[in-house]
Structure 1
Amino acid sequence: MISSAIPFAEIETVFLDAGHTLLCWDYGFASELLADVGFPCDPAVLARAEAAARPQLSRLISRGRSTEGEQVFLAYVRWILDALPPTGELAEAERAGAAARLLRAIRTPEAQDRLWSHVPPDLPPALARLRGCGLRLVVVSNSDGTVEAKLAAAGLRDLLHSVVDSHVVGSEKPERAIFEHALRLAKSRPERTLHVGDLYHADVVGARGAGLHAVLLDPYGDWRDFDCERARDVAELAQRILTSRNRD
């Protein structure tokens, strides 16, 4: 079993999830989509509701459901709507109808490109600092074959050594195979590799199952009861790694 004490100074490779780790939702655009289906919402309120839905999504994944399945995404949208003040008080049928309409709007290729387009301002400098001290950076993402193009469009691809897309390699987190593929690609040892992502059962459980260390992103403190190290975002994690390396 992986120790909860991560030897940050010994880490040589960092695996990074993509969604809500490198590429976040554009909550302004998502709010526009929500308004179009009849439920206007402030982007900051929507951001909080989306993060609050992640633990429920993670539990669904723990029962063997794919993160890329339509029914899983529909459940995720429902949980987001349930956490919003305007929709949480609606009748069940109204919430279900709103979720279905929002899902149809979100799932178009054009909407997906806009939705997954926000890069936190402190992320590129954090990645550059990690690369600058010799760490290999590899994206390990459950995706639909488009994640590398999305990273390039966002200006992040050149900061990364490799990209592993579940659709391309034929396995997805939390399966051991996708992490082992990434380890071979990076020529990295699991005990010297750290994976970071936003879903406990896909990212932490999956990484540990392949012998890696893992950190869970938790911007609002929604995962306090989970047995893993947490960080607010990649920039905070990068600072933790760099501080450890400088201290040693």
Structure 2
Amino acid sequence: MRAQWDPRQIRAILFDAGNTLIFPNYNKLRQSLAKLGIFIEERDFMLAEYRAKDKLAKVLKTVGEDAHPQPLILYFDVIFHEMGLPEADLAKTRELVNSRGTIAELFNNISPSTYTTLKLLQKWGYILGIVSNADGNLRKALDKFGLTPYFHFIIDSKEVNYEKPDPRIFFLALERAGVQPYEAVHVGDIYPVDVLGAVRAGIFPVLVDPLGYYNDLDCLSIKSVDELLTLFQKIF
């Protein structure tokens, strides 16, 4: 995959949303869980999420090519299960996630530098798009956080009825961007979903890996989207 990388050819940058641009507010989740008698450290959330990513990808494959009906509930269910919580506590976490319900409620932590990064990439002339496995509320969340103006298009898996790693969702992104596969990169955080999905569509993948969990994998990785500026600024 590394051999295909030529930043001079890139015209479009595609982004995953959750854990790439917007992140769970672990502190608020911890506070809500504590009220239910479930006590979890913030770092335990992050580590469990890492361990759960591959398992999540396998679960997504079992539901076939169509989008999972409740991807957020599935996402958090796999994470809490990975923490080893007893079934009684898992039931409480499901109820909590159900009560919060949407991406905007569960993912509301954004680094200020993300806005700067997107603004510069946009200024440099890149076509920016989002390709996300979401719940139909992604646009509302992006509007709420002021991210929508940075993107030429937003693809929510719930709206198109198939999700990553299905290459069709990437082909749709290429069509909307008006570029060929070799002219695009996709930036996301789940290797089997974002990296392998992009590769299946002929798109160069960039893995967001803040803890260096995937250092042994043969793909380009960054700790945050801010590092995209380093990758592309030499062209200008």
TM-score (norm 1): 0.84
Match of 1:75 among 74, 78, 84: 78
Please name the residue that 1:144 is paired with: 135
One-letter amino acid of the structure 2 residue matched with residue 167 of structure 1: K
How far apart, CA to CA, are the structure 2 residues paired with 1:45 and 1:55?
A: 17
One-letter amino acid of the structure 1 residue matched with residue 5 of structure 2: I
Please name the residue that 1:218 is paired with: 209
What's the secondary structure of 2:108's corresponding residue?
coil
What root-mean-square deviation, in Å, do the aligned CA atoms of Structure 1 and Structure 2 show? 2.2
TM-score (norm 2): 0.88
What's the secondary structure of 2:154's corresponding residue?
strand
How far apart, CA to CA, are the structure 2 residues paired with 1:61 and 1:207?
A: 16
Contact 1:138 1:160 in 2 (8 A): yes
Contact 1:25 1:115 in 2 (8 A): yes
What's the secondary structure of 1:98's corresponding residue?
helix
How far apart, CA to CA, are the structure 1 residues paired with 2:108 and 2:125?
A: 27
Tell whether 2:113 aligns with 1:122: yes
One-letter amino acid of the structure 1 residue matched with residue 42 of structure 2: P
Identity of aligned residues (%): 28
The change in CA–CA distance for 1:134 and 1:241 in structure 2 (over 3 A counts) is same
Matches within 5 A, 1:6-25: 6-25=5-24
For structure 1, which runs of at least 5 residues remain unmatched after alignment?
83-93
One-letter amino acid of the structure 1 residue matched with residue 107 of structure 2: W
How far apart, CA to CA, are the structure 2 residues paired with 1:43 and 1:111?
A: 21
Q: Which deviates more, 132-141 or 57-66?
A: 57-66
Please name the residue that 2:176 is paired with: 185
The change in CA–CA distance for 1:29 and 1:133 in structure 2 (over 3 A counts) is same
One-letter amino acid of the structure 2 residue matched with residue 223 of structure 1: Y
Q: Which deviates more, 152-161 or 30-39?
A: 30-39
Match of 1:236 among 209, 220, 227: 227
- The Cα of 1:46 is off from its aligned counterpart by 2.8
How far apart, CA to CA, are the structure 2 residues paired with 1:31 and 1:38?
A: 10
How far apart, CA to CA, are the structure 1 residues paired with 2:177 and 2:27?
A: 36
Contact 2:19 2:189 in 1 (8 A): yes
Q: Which deviates more, 33-42 or 163-172?
A: 33-42
The change in CA–CA distance for 1:195 and 1:140 in structure 2 (over 3 A counts) is same
- The Cα of 1:190 is off from its aligned counterpart by 0.7
How far apart, CA to CA, are the structure 2 residues paired with 1:111 and 1:42?
A: 23
The change in CA–CA distance for 1:60 and 1:237 in structure 2 (over 3 A counts) is farther
Please name the residue that 2:49 is paired with: 50
Q: Which deviates more, 37-46 or 26-35?
A: 37-46
- The Cα of 1:10 is off from its aligned counterpart by 2.1
For structure 2, which runs of at least 5 residues remain unmatched after alignment?
none
Contact 1:193 1:213 in 2 (8 A): yes
How far apart, CA to CA, are the structure 1 residues paired with 2:63 and 2:45?
A: 27
How far apart, CA to CA, are the structure 1 residues paired with 2:209 and 2:145?
A: 23
The change in CA–CA distance for 1:61 and 1:225 in structure 2 (over 3 A counts) is farther
- The Cα of 1:71 is off from its aligned counterpart by 5.2
